[in-house]
């Protein structure tokens, strides 16, 4: 147990920013233990949101951290080639590559947390936000979520407890 705690501490402390070179999600499987099914969306979301927020990654799935442009404008350096009429050139945006790397790590985390039953919600989607929106749209309506929660409670043995209480009451 102590080695597991140490690994969790190291993993959680390793994420200083959303686009760090090291992967803060490398030990995420320790934090995301419930695979999403058609019946447990509220529980699955309850474990994912705080984890992503704590790693400063929730913005990737909720849209607060949008993808930067792949190219940025750069003016020629001052010197003999620079003139008053110089036009900017496009160069690769390093923030774009870092964002893609981080988003794909989150996407991988999301996909690995899906059961076969709901894997279709990720098919054809290429960003973590697209998968998150697909899952949320399909499974998060308040009525549906409440029904699924009640169904989970039923499956967890509460129905048996009710039956026993009714039998004891006569």
Q: How far apart are the first and last CA of the chain?
A: 46
Distance CA(60)–CA(127), nearest Å, equals 9
**pLDDT < 70 regions, the chain:** 1-31, 78-86, 142-146, 148-149, 156
Helix boundaries (H) for 23-117: 41-54, 58-62, 94-112
pLDDT (0 to 100) of residue 83: 57
In a domain, 167, yes or no: no
Given this model, what pLDDT does residue 16 score?
A: 41
Is 84 inside a domain boundary?
Answer: no
Domains: count for the chain = 1
Residue 19: inside a domain: no
In-domain check, residue 60: yes
Question: What pLDDT is attached to residue 17?
Answer: 44
- Predicted confidence at residue 161, as pLDDT, reads 77
Sign of CA dihedral 55, 58, 60, 61: positive
- Domain annotation covers residue 142: yes
Q: Looking at residue 166, what is its pLDDT? A: 80
Residue 128 in tokens: 């973590």
> What's the pLDDT tens digit per position in 19-31?
444 566 666 666 6
Helix (H) or strand (E) holding 73: strand 71-74
Distance CA 161, CA 39 (A): 21
Has residue 114 been placed in a domain? yes
Residue 162 inside a domain? The answer is no
Looking at residue 58, its pLDDT comes to 97
Cα–Cα distance, 60 to 149 (Å, whole number): 27
pTM over 0.95: no
Tell me whether residue 111 is in a domain.
yes
The range of the structural domain enclosing residue 136 comes to: 24-76+94-157
Q: What is the pLDDT of residue 87?
A: 78
């Amino acid at each position: 147990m102590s080695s597991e705690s140490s690994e969790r501490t190291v993993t959680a402390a390793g994420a200083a920013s959303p686009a760090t070179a090291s992967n803060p999600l490398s030990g995420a499987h320790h934090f995301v233990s419930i695979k999403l099914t058609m019946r447990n969306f509220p529980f699955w979301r309850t474990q994912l949101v705080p984890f992503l927020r704590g790693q400063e990654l929730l913005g990737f799935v909720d849209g607060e951290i949008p993808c930067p442009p792949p190219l940025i404008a750069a003016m020629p350096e001052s010197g003999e080639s620079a003139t008053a009429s110089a036009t900017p050139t496009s160069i690769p945006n390093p923030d774009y590559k870092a964002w893609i790397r981080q988003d794909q790590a989150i996407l991988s985390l999301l996909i690995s947390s899906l059961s076969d039953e709901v894997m279709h919600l990720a098919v054809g989607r290429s960003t973590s936000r697209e998968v998150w929106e697909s899952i949320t749209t399909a499974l998060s309506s308040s009525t549906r979520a409440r029904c699924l929660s009640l169904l989970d409670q039923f499956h967890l043995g509460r129905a048996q407890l009710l039956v026993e209480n009714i039998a004891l009451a006569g």
